[in-house]
Structure 1
Amino acid sequence: MRGRRLRAVDVVAEALERIGRADPVLCAFLEVWGDQALRRAGELDARVAGGAAEGGALPLAGVPVAVKGRAGLRAAGPLLAAGCVAVGATSVPGPGTPWQTWGLGQHGVTVNPWRADRTPGGSSAGAAVAVAAGLVPLATGSDGAGSVRIPAAWCGVVGLKVTAGRLPSPDRTGLATPGVLTRTAADAAAWWRVVTRQPVDDAAPVTFPVTAVWSPDLGFAAPDPQPVALARAAADRLVDAGVVRLVRPPAPPLLLDPAPAWLALRTPGADLAEARRIRAENDRRLDRLFSGADLLLTPTTPTPPHGHDGPGDVYSTALTWAFNVSGHPALSMPAGFGADGCPAGLQLVAGPGREALLLAAAQEAELRTAAA
């Protein structure tokens, strides 16, 4: 579009047509902003024709994107400034619903695009579905306990949670951070460059393989065998491709279960003494781990996608929310498919502020494993 080989109005119209066909089944959207999106696309076409995209301006001119929930447009300023066109607000859990409820769109309960009887995960439910189904190439999310990474894993896309405090967040607890869902790590990197306003050349080069530590359970979780096996196989593929080199840390990556800390931090008036103890001890253990390795690799979720009636007593967040409490950046990338036909994810965790490393490793993985 910046090179004038395509018109933004045509690309956005195609996205809206796909949404119109698929969303009555998928229920990924709360609202679709067709008229506004087409007007915005027309304005962008006029700006590009007038030379506004020259010199690197409007790097994402005309790219249709979806934002998480009706309030998501407020946080999409950098994307809009880069030329994106917001086509709608994606589904989130309905008001007053329990934590097992993952998404409610304008047409009903949001379904997993691989199996309609399974949840896509949440709370960035519609965002993951819209990307996985090819309705948009990029959707914004937010991650307070795994709300980007879990749906990314269960829908087979890339999901990035950024370092706590790196980007603005309305969450008073500091647990929730902005994130993004895309089909490729390269697209997630494009989002990162736009929201941080960092030129491509600013990222320090990464030499591969990078060192990584594998943990199936972080020392406290009890994941099912299937997601562990899929994630480990994905990690082994990264080793075989020369993206990572697994190392044995001086001590195994054993963390304290973050559940009590996370729940206390989210409960107004709760006694935070135990939460502070857990956070401090886990921070110490993670500091030690990352002093000897670049990445920590785990399954993204402890279970495959469950049905729409919920997982019962199983916390889908068991392997993700430790890094909301600690604030570390984390990325989920596709790890293959289980016997149920649904995707699983491999979670990559890095030291604070090392989003560029996560994205570089995920991009390199895509390039080398695709070539293989």
Structure 2
Amino acid sequence: MTRRRTAVEIARAVRSRALSAVDVVDEAIAAAERLDPVLHFLDELDAAGARAAAMRLPPDGPLAGVPFLIKSRTPPDAPIIARLVAAGAVPIGWSTRARPGAQSLTFGWNGVDYTRNPWDLSRSPGGSTAGGAAAVAAGVVPLATGGDSGGSLRIPASFSGVIGFKGTYGRIPRPGGRPLGGLTTAGVIGADLDDVVLATSIASGPHRLDPTALPPWPPHGLDDFEHPSTTTDRALWLVGAQRRWRVAYRSTLGVCPAEGAVDRVVRQRLAAAAVEVVDVPLELAPTEEAWAALSDLDNGRGAEEAAARRARAVRDFNNTALADLFSEVDALVTPTTLTVAHGYDQHEESIVTGDPCWVFNVTGHPAVSVPVGRSEGLPVGAQVVAPHGADEVALAVARLLLVDLPLPPVR
């Protein structure tokens, strides 16, 4: 295998009858059975269910025959799953996530062993959407679902050399509706940016379980395009990619700095890309306490009134500071993680690597991580953040920074 087959390519081939959905799904199942004993990315494989779904699939959806993994413990009635399946995608099982009660969440656990990174089996693929990122990076499936409340899509995407997109808060509806804290956005990890955009657009829009979700995205929808597979080719953010975007760069947003090598890779990619880097002041309030209080509210644990008020003040302060920043630039770029992938066996350590991520769960801004190079042979990701609702801007800038990495050693 010299390159991964994208979801758009798979669906186009299934719709044209050049491939059968059953053959595609069988191939993914075989790859999962071969690689899971090495990478430990599966929580559970559903080979029989996947084959049955592929056999009865009408081969005409925008994701016809595309195999994908569901993050473990995702509610079965989650709108993102129902909508991807309605578009023709076929879930082949459930991927690992962080072990409950773990000191750090940037790992995956299948109940027996820790999930490994296909770039280096001594490293973690990140978390908490660990198994999905590892499987996508290794070419088992082109897409995997997850949720992002503190970087759970973007961190594993960065560690594993793939793409993770957290849309504006509410971009994809959630089965429990809008929680009190408002941190988590459902989303996808993929190996191809167009795949991620297409899957997000399919999953977007209000749902009976979450009627307060944002309107369907992109605004013109899939029906405005002659063929579903060309949606992203005609979307407004690709037309806008011809302009020279103005971006601000910060190597860190917290007290911990990015590793020098990670910072250099992102800076070098910015210098080579068709963007204008502008020096604009940005002072953000610390996020840790606010995130913890909002997470407690989201998870039904409750929060003291004073802590909730402080969290609201931090959210408001940072939203205002970012609004001022975005009045001067189109997007903000940071390293997605402060380090490259750490050891899979460091799970009992308190590891600070995802500081640039959780700021934007508190504020709800769209943020996408794309690979921009490597350090020590391991992927380095850049995070692109845009104003509320301007998901297409984040994606347009990310497309200019994106580097096509070679396939990892384990694939």
Q: Normalising by the residue count of structure 1, what TM-score does the alignment of the two structures yield?
A: 0.89
> Cα offset for 1:306?
1.6
CA contact (8 A) 2:42 2:110 kept: yes
CA contact (8 A) 2:371 2:402 kept: no
> Cα offset for 1:105?
1.9
> Cα offset for 1:99?
2.7
Alignment of 1:71-150 (within 5 A): 71=74, 73-75=76-78, 76-100=81-105, 102-105=107-110, 108-150=113-155
Residue of 35, 39, 42 corresponding to 1:22 = 35
For residue 245 of structure 1, what is the aligned residue in structure 2? 276
**Structure 1 residues 292 and 233 mapped into 2: Cα distance closer, same or farther (>3 Å)?**
same
CA contact (8 A) 1:220 1:256 kept: no
Tell which deviates more after alignment, 153-162 or 262-271.
262-271
> Cα offset for 1:365?
4.4
> Cα offset for 1:210?
1.4
For residue 4 of structure 2, what is the aligned residue in structure 1? none
For residue 212 of structure 2, what is the aligned residue in structure 1? none
Tell which deviates more after alignment, 255-264 or 217-226.
217-226
Matched, 1:67 2:70: yes
For residue 43 of structure 1, what is the aligned residue in structure 2? 56
CA distance in 1, matches of 2:180, 2:122: 35
Tell which deviates more after alignment, 318-327 or 304-313.
304-313
Amino acid at match of 1:8: A
User: Secondary structure of the equivalent of 1:304?
Assistant: coil
User: Secondary structure of the equivalent of 1:71?
Assistant: coil
User: Secondary structure of the equivalent of 1:74?
Assistant: coil
For residue 291 of structure 2, what is the aligned residue in structure 1? 262
CA contact (8 A) 2:371 2:403 kept: no
CA distance in 2, matches of 1:68, 1:167: 15
CA distance in 1, matches of 2:19, 2:62: 14
> Cα offset for 1:152?
0.3
Tell which deviates more after alignment, 228-237 or 347-356.
228-237
CA distance in 2, matches of 1:323, 1:102: 21
Work out the number of aligned pairs and report it. 353
Matched, 1:13 2:16: no
User: Secondary structure of the equivalent of 1:332?
Assistant: strand
Alignment of 1:1-372 (within 5 A): 1-44=14-57, 47-48=58-59, 53=60, 58-71=61-74, 73-75=76-78, 76-100=81-105, 102-105=107-110, 108-169=113-174, 170=176, 171-196=179-204, 198-199=221-222, 200=231, 203=236, 205-206=239-240, 207-218=242-253, 220-238=255-273, 242=274, 244-249=275-280, 252-267=281-296, 268-270=302-304, 271-307=307-343, 308-310=345-347, 312-339=349-376, 341-366=377-402
Amino acid at match of 2:294: L
CA contact (8 A) 1:30 1:70 kept: no
Residues 291-348 of structure 1 show CA distances to partners (whole Å, capped at 9, x for unaligned) of 1111100000112222222384442221110000000010000021112x22111000
> Cα offset for 1:143?
0.5
User: Secondary structure of the equivalent of 1:108?
Assistant: coil
Residues 94-119 of structure 1 show CA distances to partners (whole Å, capped at 9, x for unaligned) of 23333346211265211111111111
CA contact (8 A) 2:370 2:382 kept: yes
Amino acid at match of 1:318: D
Amino acid at match of 2:303: G
> Cα offset for 1:279?
1.4
CA contact (8 A) 1:220 1:254 kept: no
CA contact (8 A) 1:296 1:349 kept: yes
CA distance in 2, matches of 1:348, 1:213: 10
> Cα offset for 1:211?
1.4
CA contact (8 A) 2:142 2:191 kept: yes
Unmatched 5+ stretches in structure 2: 1-13, 205-215, 223-230, 297-301, 407-411
CA distance in 2, matches of 1:264, 1:349: 23
User: Secondary structure of the equivalent of 1:168?
Assistant: coil
CA contact (8 A) 2:254 2:355 kept: no
CA distance in 2, matches of 1:70, 1:313: 24
CA contact (8 A) 2:270 2:401 kept: no
CA distance in 1, matches of 2:19, 2:402: 26
Residues 63-120 of structure 1 show CA distances to partners (whole Å, capped at 9, x for unaligned) of 0011111425432111001000001110012233333462112652111111111111
Q: Aligned-pair RMSD on alpha carbons?
A: 2.2
**Structure 1 residues 245 and 73 mapped into 2: Cα distance closer, same or farther (>3 Å)?**
farther
Amino acid at match of 2:387: G
> Cα offset for 1:259?
1.1
CA distance in 1, matches of 2:111, 2:75: 16
Q: Normalising by the residue count of structure 2, what TM-score does the alignment of the two structures yield?
A: 0.81
Moved over 6 A (4+): 367-370
Unmatched 5+ stretches in structure 1: none
User: Secondary structure of the equivalent of 1:181?
Assistant: strand
